[in-house]
Structures are given as structure tokens and as C-alpha cells.
Chains A and B, each alone.
Chain A
Amino acid sequence: MTRKNVDLKIKELKSNLGIMKDLRLSVGKVIDDSWEETIGPTPYPSITDLRNWDMKILQKYKPFYMPFCDLCCLCTYGKCDLSNNKRGACGLNMEAQQSRIVLLAACIGAATHTAHARHLVDELIEKFGRNYPLDVGGTNVEVEAPVTRLVTGIRPKTLGDLDTILDYLETQINHLLSATHTGQEGNNLDFESKVLQAGMVDQVGMEIADMAQVSCFGFPKADPNAPLVDLGFGAVDPTKPTIMVVGHNVPPAIGIMDYLNEKGLYGKIDVCGLCCTAHDITRYSSKAKIVGPISWQLRFIRSGLPDILVVDEQCIRADSLEEAKKIKAPLIASSSKNCLGLEDRTKDPVDEIVNDLVSGQVDGVLILDPEKVGEVAVRTAMEVAPKRKKFKIIPEIKDLIEIAKKCNLCNECRRACPNDQEIPKAMVSAGKGDLTKLEKIYEECIGCGRCEYVCPNEFPIHSFIVKAGEKKMKQEQYKIRAGRGAIQDVEIRRVGQPIIFGEIPGVVAFVGCANYPKGGEEVAEMIEEFAKRRFIVVTSGCAAMSAGMVKDEDGKSPYEKYPGNFDAGGLVNVGSCVSNPHIAGAAIKIASIFAKRNLRGNYEEIADYVHNRVGAVGIAWGAMSQKAASIASGFWRLGIPVIVGPHGSKYRRMLLGRKDRKEDWYVYDSRTGERVYGGPAPEHLFYAAETKEEAMVMIAKLCMRPNDNTKGRAIKLSHYIDLHKRFYGTMPDDIHLFVRRLSDIPITMKDEIVRILDEKGWKERIIPDPTLLPRMVRKKANKK
């Protein structure tokens, strides 16, 4: 069902006028006649259609800017000094400049996901045709594309429909990016509104990418029992040839698995991945393995295990070719977005390419044909493995000790380390034969390599750290549930009511990258805490991997302990970065399936519903990329708060509520039309926490919503208070803002809380049927 009634692509047309290539014809628009749902006010919203909604959100959650730089240097008028909110030569002030940078990041993120989706969809249309049907969960998932339905007003049925939706997304990104040009948008709140548009577009782009790959590659379809797959460095068999895949666009990795299958080589070669390609290849075949998150690239390469690297797109180290060279492993680049300076060998015969790679005549090649990548990678790995014999560049302990003795304690490494690791002290100890301090750094190191780039002695510091952690690294062997994709409609029916009344205390989604302040174990610890408390815990991307990298006393990792269904106490891995819309989608589906609201082109109403009723929070503890910025923006527009780790402060703008300003927290009671105080719930929309303890307390708090019933609010308050007491040693000082009726008070804490309420002069207030939209006030009441 497409937006255009004629959409024609002709590869080559010979006519009297000559030869025309790649001709495309699109005429008119159609409405999906077969869909009875009434169309809402904003199908295919332009960049200003949802501006009023954005301003409502931004009034409550005002931006707080923390410039990374006092200057702007974006045009040749510059550099302009914008400090103290001064204006530059073009008239732009500091606030607007900061929001412009946020918009740039969100556009980069949205463009990246959308281009990824475009790449996939084009390739799949080429292979399967435009009419290939989409299927993300059969009859279990009737609302197959909640975000797309909500935004565009159409129900995509075929790959061809996705193509049409991509046209819309690409146009939006184009407009949004153009707004960052000098002399365009000048107001910070309007920039912020555009950030939210970019986030919304991004969610659709991701949803399309995942729908396409789930439908065409046979990934788990909304399956809570998706297979458990191997995770961790120790899961890789060092006796076998090993192919390492990194990135986000899975077709080349699928080419590898298919070739192995075709030649009966499964089991003779290990295919293991990092980052989202790893997620998606295990969704394709549970025989593939996940090494770990994105930040494990250097340590895995240097360990010498990979016999060939296959990189596709996004979050790949720009020095991967140089690093591969060091361990004598060839590299195949497989994405037009990441060619690494390599010769394009796509059209060359496989034998020649393999020969050149095996003989070392070339360090790497660019192959833009996923199937050819498959054959070249497998054959090269088989031939290279016996030659290089897992050649590694991790030093032996005795050499490490000798080198460490020569450290001149200049501190350069520490001052370059994003986490301020005390490397010089660890070097002193290492020089004396004690590696425990280096081993401790291994646990927290994010593998950036900055320390060694600055060492005046050119010590391979990161390799030292890996050596110190080697024993632990080899023991890293866990299980992760392969990404399940969408949430089933029946699951939503089951949890809809307890979520919107608050009896399931929240949906907590751990997403994003691995730029952690103190290692990935913090993520695992937070996840365990909330799964035990019977929140619904959802994971995706690198955070999903970190979630699995711990074991309990019985040797079980969290995915073995907690079920994969979307229910209280579940631990739900939806999949890779592009699977994130299943999380937003679940919130949207609660409005549609449980509350029977129309989704179709009805963004504002549904966002209002989600914001006021669905107690969902995103946590991107190691958020690093621009994609993480756009993913978060997509959640904000739906009114879902996002917490980032301390490094997330570098996104340089928070969206913070002020619970001390009572006037900010009024909602309409849709039953009466009265404006009533709804309390600061959720208190923030984008917030960087300093420590995991602070994050956990805030997660519990940000799950509260004005719509909670008294039983639900009591449950939510008891988690908030319990965590606060445990980590802060005190009662929170804001309970009076969250207790609306005496029946909101958790029964076991009654006396203590009533005493506090008395001191604060608290009075009972009504629990509204909350909305921020006057038009949602029921008609009868409106007439009064």
C-alpha cells in the first residue's frame, strides 16, 4: 500500500530520444483504502506539523546547554566567540548554536539509520521484488509497524511500500539538515523541535530496516523464545579459522553464513561478530557467535584470533585496516560508506581476490557484493589461518614487565584517557611484576587506544591492559538470547492495563553503545536489579551484550535466568540498533491495542497518551554515537524519558524538568477539562546521571506517570523509596509531590510518609485522566 499510485523504476529505456538509464516515475498519492481506521491529522508530517506538540514538551523540559566550545567555526565568517550567549557574525547566539549542533548530530544519526534501511531495502527489492510481503510476526503481530503507521498513516505490506516511505524520510532529513545552514533557523527551541522531528524520522527508518531484514532473512519473528547464542571472547574456538564481522549492515555476514552452509563448512570455521552485525548474524543463524560490544574491537583484533576481518558500516574503528595488518589478517570492506581507501574488487574473479589476500599482495579489498564477500571471506580465512597461526601482538608478561620499567611517569596516557585511568601507577606496579592494577583497568577500559597514541615512548599500553586481563578475557563465555524483534499483540494485551495503571512498575529499556564510565558490568547490575523487581526489562544493541556478560553462583547469565517475554520480570532482547523501534512500538501499541486509540497519522494524541500513561524509561549508559542521539530524540518526541551515563553529558544539552516549579506540571483532566496539578512525572526527559546508583534511583522515579492508579503509584513509590534509602541512606525529599491520595502510600511505609506529608502541609488532590491537549477533553465536559 503506497503513497504513490504510480511508482515505476526502469533500469534502462531505449527510445528515439536515446538511452535513458535508471528512469523513475512517481505520480500522485493514494490513501490506503483497505484500512478502515480513520486517518489522523498528521500523516507524513512536515517539519512544522508537530511543532505545537514539541513546544509543549519543551516548555516542561527546558534545554540546559553545556557548550563543548565557546566558539562557532561553521562558516568563513568565523570563528565567532559566542561565550556568554553572545551572537556570531550571522546573528546566531550560543543557545541556538548548541541546539544546532544537537540537530546536526540527530540528522547524522537519522541519516545513518535511514541510509542503512535504504541500502537494505534496495538490495532486497533487487533480490526478492517489490511485492515481497512483509512479515514480522505472522498473526501474532497484526500491528506490524506501529511507528510507521503512527507517523505516515499507512500500513506497509510489501518491500515496495518501504521504498515509498523511505522517500518521505529522506526528504525530511534533507529539510532538517538544511536548517543547520548559516542564516537558516535562528531560534533554539525551533532547532530543538527539528531535533524531535529527526528523532521521529529516525524511528521510522530503523523500523523499516528491521522489518525488511526480519521479513527477508527469516530472523526470529517476535519470538520470546528466540535461541540462546554464545557470547563472549571465550566462546570463540581458537583452534578454528575465524572470521570477524563488525558493523551494522548484515548482508555480507549473511553471505558468509550462506557460503559456509552451501559448502558444508559450518563447524569448521567460527564466525563471530562485534556490535550490531553480531546481533543480526545470530538472528540469522544461532551458530554464529557474539564477541561483545563495539569497544572490544581492539582487544579482539590484537588477540590474534581473527583470521580475516569483514567490516561493513557504522561504529567501525577507522584504523581497523592498520590493526588487521599488525596481526597479518586481511580485511574486506563491504560498504560503500566505509571504503577505507581500498581498491574496489567487486567485479574481479573470486580466485584472484583470494589469491591476492592470501599472498599478502594486498592488505585488504573493497567488495560491494555481499555474496562475493561470503565466498572470498571463507576461502581466504581457510587459507590464511594455517599461515598466520593466530599471530597476535599482545606482549608476553616478561616483556611487558621490562617495558613497564622504562615508563617515565609523564602522565600523558592518563590525561588522554576518557576515564582518567591511573595508568602510570599501574605501570609502576607492572614494572615490579604486579599486574593487578592493569587488570583492574581492563575491566573499565573502553578500548579507545588514546593512551597509547600519546605515549612518548610508544608503549602499546592497550595491549598491556589486554595482557593483564587475558585470563579473565578467555573465561568470558556467556549466553544471550538472540534478538527477538517485535513484541506480540497478545503480550501487549496482557500487560497493557497493569502498565498504564502502574501495577507493572515500568518498562526499562537498556539501549545504546558501550562508552561506559566504569565498564559494562554496571549495565548488567542495573538490569538485574530491575528484572528482580519485576519491571519489564528490554535490551538492544551493545547494551544487550553487556547485559549478558555476568554469571550468578550457578554459572547462569541473565538471559538464562529471566524469560524473554514482554512481561513483568522478563528480559527482552529486541536485537540490534535498528530494533529499537520495537521498544517505542510496544508503548505505541499499548495505546492502540489496549486503549483502542487510532494510530493512523495520529502522532500527537498517541505521544500524549504514552507520555502521560506508559511508564517507560530508556537508559543509554554508554551512549556514544550520533545514532544514539537520534534514537533518544525519537523517544523524547513520544514523551519517553532517557537517562544517559556521565559521558552522555557530552551531548551538551539536557532536557530537564523543574519539580520546584509547580506551574510546569499541570495537565488537563480530560473528564472535566479542568487544569489540575499532575505532579512532576516524569521529572526529566533527557538526563545524565553521574553514577549507576543515581541512575537506578532515577529510573524508578521516572517510571511514574500522572495516570497511575493508587495501587500502581504505591508500587512505583515503594521501588523509588527503597532504592533511594539503599543508595542515599535517606527518604527522598520529594515524596509529597508524588503522593496524590493517602491510598498512594505504600502500606508498609504509611506512618513514616504520613509524618513527612504533615510536615510539608500536603493535601489530597485528584488523580486526573491526564492530557496535555485541550482537544482531548471530552466533548460533554467541554460544553460546560
Chain B
Amino acid sequence: MSDAPWQKAEVAGTKRALPLVKPEVVLAMLKRSKHPILVVGHKIVEIDLDGKKLIDFVIDIAKAGEIPIVATAHSVKEFLNREFQSVASMPVMDVANRLTDPEWKGLDGKGTYDLAFFIGLPYYMEWLILSGLKNFSGNLQTISLDGFYQPNATWSIPNISSKELREFFEALILKLGGQ
């Protein structure tokens, strides 16, 4: 378990993400949040955590935590294939850009978000987007759930094995009241 950037050259600046090692942190953040969102990249279909696809963990987390999902790139198709309908779709650059706008109405018309989870984007793209948000999006808190440490998030799961990530998600889903 390490909180050095996964891509070693992608060192952060003066502000670095706190390592997220306990699922309880997510619970506490969610409790405090009035309007969270889960931003999901296309790699959730490619990544497999010991026999269960990342997308299936994401669905379980979203259901248990009642967190709305925005699927980026073409990943929405996989949600629909799984008959999971409560998902919005938007290019990740658009999501990121809008998250810096306090006037944004949000995907549900309820205003902008105060907590954004990220998972399944190419590492370097997520790194940059989190940097944009860290520097330009006032009160937004960000959490990276990839298991590859993202220094520009507010909180990031450190570099952990896929087995550890699976265990983290299973524990999180249970604590959120899912199965």
C-alpha cells in the first residue's frame, strides 16, 4: 500500500490527497454531502477484480449509497446492458468543466455537486481532471476509488492490489447497507 502516484512521474504539487484506507471515510463524507455524484469512466468494463467486473461493484456501491452515476465515454451502454437505468451520460471533459461552475444546475436540476467520486478513467486523464477540480472548483471534495493513488483528489485509495480493492469495495457496500 503506497501513496506515491501510481504513475511515478505524476508527482503532485503542494496539496496532496489524503490516503483513503477505511470505507468509513466514504460513509462520513457521504453523510456530510448534500449532493454527491459518481463519475465512471470506460475502464470499468475492462477491469476485472478476481472474477467480478468493476462495473458490477460500481452498481452495487451506487445502489447501496444512493449515489447518482454519470457514465463517461461509451460506458453508459454497459450499464444499460445490465438493465441499470438510473445513470446519466456525459463526456468526462464536460462533467469536469461543469463541476468548476457553482451555477451549474447538475444532471438532476438540483444544483451543483459537493462531492464527486471518480473511478475507471485513464490514470493520467483522471489526474489532470482532479488537478483542474482541485484548483478551480471551490468547495467540491473529490474521492478517487481506482486503487491507483491519485494525488490531486481530496481523498484517494492508495496503490493497492486488486484483491485489496475488492475487499475494500465489499466492506464499503456492506457498510452502506448493501449486500
Indicate whether B34 reaches chain A with its CB closer than 8 angstroms: no
**Residues of chain A lying within 8 A (CB to CB) of residue B77:** 727-730
Complex: how many Å from CA A94 to CA B104?
22
Q: In the bound complex, how far is the Cα of B4 from the Cα of A412, in angstroms?
A: 12
Task: Judge whether A85 and B136 touch: CB under 8 Å.
Answer: yes
Q: Which residues of A contact B94 (CB under 8 A)?
A: 656
CB atoms of B80 and A729 under 8 A apart: yes
Q: Choose from B42, B96, B104 the contact partner of A691 (Cβ within 8 Å).
A: B42
B13 touches A71 (CB 8 A): yes
Cβ distance B140 to chain A, nearest Cβ, rounded Å: 12
B100 proximity list for chain A (CB < 8 A): 64
Contact between chains at A649 and B128 (CB < 8 Å):
yes
- Most chain A C-beta atoms within 10 Å of own C-beta, residue among B12, B80, B128: B128
A416–B74 touching, CB < 8 Å: no
B105 A646 Cβ-Cβ under 8 A: no
Interface string of B9-48 (1 = CB under 8 A from A): 1001111000000000000000000000000011000000
Q: What residues of A have a CB within 8 angstroms of the CB of B136 in the complex?
A: 65, 85, 94-95
Please give, as numbers and ranges, the residues of chain A lying within 8 Å of B73 by CB-CB distance. 689-691, 693-694
Q: By the criterion CB–CB under 8 Å, are B122 and A728 in contact?
A: no
Closest residue on chain A to residue B11 by CB atoms = A69
A184 CB–B CB distance under 8 Å: no
Chain B neighbourhood of A32, CB < 8 A: none
- Tell me which residues from 81 to 125 in chain B have a Cβ below 8 Å from any Cβ of chain A: 81, 89, 91-94, 96-98, 100-101, 104-105, 121-125
Is there contact, CB below 8 Å, between A649 and B15? no
Tell me which residues from 42 to 71 in chain A have a Cβ below 8 Å from any Cβ of chain B. Answer: 64-71
Cβ-neighbour of B124 out of A71, A83, A454, A650 (below 8 A): A650
A68, A71, A81, A646 — most chain B CB neighbours (10 Å): A646
Whether A658 is near chain B, meaning CB under 8 Å from some CB there, is: yes
- Contact call B74/A730, Cβ cutoff below 8 A: no
Known: A420-B123, A649-B125. A728 touches B131 (CB 8 A): no
Contact B97 A730 (CB under 8 A): no
B residues touching A (Cβ–Cβ < 8 Å)?
6-9, 12-15, 41-42, 72-74, 76-77, 80-81, 89, 91-94, 96-98, 100-101, 104-105, 121-125, 128-129, 131-132, 134-136
- Cα A737 to Cα B8 in complex, Å, equals 43
Query: What is the predominant secondary structure among interface residues of chain A facing chain B?
Result: mixed
Distance between Cα atoms of A64 and B80 in the complex (Å): 30
Find out whether the CB atom of B128 lies under 8 angstroms from the CB atom of A416.
Answer: no
Known contacts A85-B135, A698-B91; A64 and B96 CB within 8 A of each other: yes
The CB with the most chain B CB atoms within 10 A, among A71, A647, A650, A729, is that of A729
- Interface of A with B (CB < 8 Å)? 64-71, 81-85, 94-95, 412, 415-416, 418, 420, 454, 517, 646-647, 649-650, 652, 654, 656, 658, 660, 684, 687-691, 693-694, 697-698, 727-730, 733
A412 contacts which chain B residues (CB < 8 A)? Answer: 8
Q: Shortest 3 CB-CB distances between A and B: which pairs?
A: A70-B13, A66-B132, A729-B77
- Is B74 in contact with A67, judged by CB distance below 8 angstroms? no
If A94-B135, A658-B98, A728-B89 touch, does A690 touch B14 (CB 8 Å cutoff)? no
A420 pairs with B7, CB closer than 8 A:
yes
Cβ contact within 8 Å between A646 and B125? yes
Tell me how far the C-beta of A522 lies from the nearest C-beta in chain B, rounded to whole angstroms: 13
A647 cross-chain contacts in B, Cβ below 8 A = 124
Q: Select the residue from B13, B76, B77, B93 with max chain A CB neighbours within 10 A.
A: B93
B81 vs chain A, min Cβ distance (A): 7
Docked CA distance A177–B96 (Å) = 30
**Best-surrounded residue of A420, A687, A697, A698 (most CB of chain B within 10 A):** A420
Contact B7 A70 (CB under 8 A): no
Residues of A within 8 A of B12 (CB): 70
Asked if residues B125 and A654 are in contact (CB atoms below 8 Å), the reply is no
**Which partner residue on chain B sits nearest A659 by CB separation?**
B94
Residue of B nearest to A63 (CB): B97
Contact B134 A656 (CB under 8 A): no
List B contacts of A517 (CB < 8 A). 122
Give chain B residues whose Cβ lies under 8 Å from the Cβ of A733: 89
- Interchain CA distance A549-B69 in the complex, whole Å: 38
